[in-house]
Every structure is written in C-alpha cells, then in structure tokens.
Structure 1
Amino acid sequence: MPDDHVIISTIHQAKGLEWDVVHIAGCNENILPHYRSIMEENVVAEPVEHENKDESEIIISNNPIEEERRLFYVAVTRAKKVLKLTMSESTPLGDPLFPSRFLVEIYDVDPGAFKLDSDDF
C-alpha cells in the first residue's frame, strides 16, 4: 500500500493493527462512550460464584462503560507516533457537547499529554 493514503476504520477493525498517525474523532460523551452504555451504567451486575473467588465478585465485563473504556484503550494504542483526539463543542443546532469521560480521565492523570489547539477553544 502507498504511504500517502488514509484508512478509515472502526475501533474493532483496528485491533492488532498500528499506524504512524491515528485520529479518533467524536471523543464526546454520549458518543464515546455511547449513550446506551451510559444509560446501562447504573444497572447492577449480579454477583457470580466462581471457584477460589469471593462469591460477591462482580464480572466487570458486564459493565458496558468498562467495555467501551477497553475499546478506547485499543484505539489510542494503535498510534506509533501521533495520536489526535478530537471532540465537538456543540451540535449543529448549538446545543453544548461535552468531552468524553475517557478524555477527562487521561487529562486528570497526565495533563501534559494534551496539546490543545487554541483555535478550537
């Protein structure tokens, strides 16, 4: 494949692949994570019994937010050199949009990891 092309992929399709530059668009709450996962976030998972484990253990994979967090991790680790994460400030009708909780989590751990484009703020 030539080096001067763009690949558009889903996060699922990108698993196991790497590129020099990865751009993840739509890093807004209700998109990543998806609003359906957010709605299901407060659903309590049932305790499961498992050999050699506490009976009150909860299977984390039942939590849709954790599943999307793992997918986000897959996406951001596809970049070899440059990772660009973008979000929108508002809808086309002017309603405010908010950054994905996953962006906020990264920023809280390492604010220096972000280079904010002042033209966007």
Structure 2
Amino acid sequence: MSMHRSKGLEFETVYIVGASENIVPFYTAKSPEEVAEECRLLHVAITRARDEVLISSPSHFRGNRSAVSPILLAVYQ
C-alpha cells in the first residue's frame, strides 16, 4: 500500500521500506512546497501505526551508495 492510500487507516505495524535520500522526499519534489508535502505524507505514514513503525533504508541503490532520507534524520535527531 502506498503512503497516499494509508490516509485515514490504522495498522498494528507500519513498514516504510527503502527510505533513502531520493525516495523520501521523492526526487521530483523540487519546490519547498513539494518537499513540505512529502514531509506531511511521511508523517501520515508513520502515524498510521498503533504499535510500531519499522523503517529501512538501502545502503546502495543501482550500484551507488545511498544515504538515509534527510527528512528521517531530521525527525529522529
């Protein structure tokens, strides 16, 4: 299920898979407003969990090193 489709729903556990720098926020988000919308969308996804949230981020993507999403780093520091 996509983050968009999770709005209004609740789950025991939420898995956010592949939360790397060009995925959250999505690489097409260019303006500050688009990045802010991506942040709100991530917030919606995280808050759908009743008990736990599990987030993964790949170390490599398409043969290149990949960093954890800067949004996630900002939220959890």
Match of 2:31 in 1: 41
Give SS of 2:43's match.
helix
Distance in 1, matches of 2:61 and 2:4, equals: 26
Distance in 2, matches of 1:92 and 1:35, equals: 15
RMSD between superposed Cα atoms in Å: 1.2
Distance in 2, matches of 1:34 and 1:20, equals: 26
Match of 2:8 in 1: 16
Question: Which structure ranks higher in relative contact order (CA pairs < 8 Å, sequence separation ≥ 6)?
Answer: 2
Q: Which runs of 5+ in 1 are unaligned?
A: 1-8, 43-62, 109-121
Give SS of 1:36's match.
coil
Match of 1:112 in 2: none
Q: Tell me the CA shift for residue 41 of structure 1.
A: 3.2
Q: Deviations over 1:14-61 (max 9, x none)?
A: 100001011001110111111111xx237xxxxxxxxxxxxxxxxxxx
Give the counterpart letter for 1:81 in structure 2.
Answer: D
Q: 1:29 aligns with which of 15, 21, 36?
A: 21
Distance in 2, matches of 1:92 and 1:102, equals: 21
Return the TM-score normalized by structure 2.
0.92
- Structure 1's consecutive aligned runs of 4 or more residues displaced over 2 angstroms after TM superposition are none
Return the TM-score normalized by structure 1.
0.60
